[in-house]
Structure formats: C-alpha cells, structure tokens
Amino acid sequence: MENWQEISEDIVESLLEDGSNPDVLYEVEHHFVSEDFEKLEQAALAAFKLGYDVEDPAELELEDGSKIWGFDVVVEAELDAEVIMEDVTKLVEIATHCGVEYDGWGTYFQE
C-alpha cells in the first residue's frame, strides 16, 4: 500500500502544480484488469455491493496485441491523496480477494 500512497500523492501533486482546481470534486477512475473474465466479474460485483459505481467490463488490447478484460470503478472525490487512498485500500482488497489486478487510478485536470 505504500507504493499506492506514493503514486497517489504524486498524481495529486502533479495536478495541483499544473493548476488543476483544488475546490471541485473529481471523477476518479479506479482500474481493474484480469485475463479471467469470471474473476473480473466477481470483483465488479463485490465493488458494486460496497456501493461503488461500476462500469461494464470491456475487452482491452495490450501493446503486444494480447487481450485482457478490464473495468473501472468511478468515484467522485476531493483531489486529496488521503481521501482517494480510502477507496484504493478497499478496492485493492477486493482485487486481491478476487484474484485480479488493481491497475491504479486516474482523473482529469479541472479548471
């Protein structure tokens, strides 16, 4: 989790340094991936049961041409690493329990 904490702090810091608005809610997308669709579906259901907004799974093509399944959990949150880490912690636990990969989070610059 230390790694995710550092990554989260770096993302937030970079956005704020670039002038992103600290006073608005951000749409934070948490990414899950797996080669096993059934495991990914279990993770999506677990996140949904916890009250998260879960997007439909989609087949994704990797740079090497191989295919993988993925979905996003979308959360509105303050641009604050500690706030975002609360969700990261819960979502990493789901990913670990279901045998899929939590592939990080992202958001968009806000004026």
Nearest to 75 by CA among 96, 57, 50, 43: 50
Assign 3-state DSSP to the chain and report helix, strand, coil percentages, each to 5. Answer: 40, 30, 30
Taking the C-alpha atoms of residue 27 and residue 77, their distance in angstroms, rounded to an integer, is: 7
The pLDDT tens digits of the residues spanning 58-72 come to 999 989 999 999 999
The pLDDT tens digits of the residues spanning 22-45 come to 999 999 999 999 999 999 999 999
Question: In the prediction, which pLDDT does 1 show?
Answer: 61
SS3 75: strand
Q: How many domains does the chain have?
A: 1
CATH for 77: 3.30.70.970
Range of the domain at 93: 4-107
Biggest alpha carbon distance in the chain? 41
Amino acid at 93: E
Q: 99: which DSSP letter?
A: T
The DSSP-derived string for 2-35 is HHHHHHHHHHHHHHHHTT--TTS-EEEEEEEEES
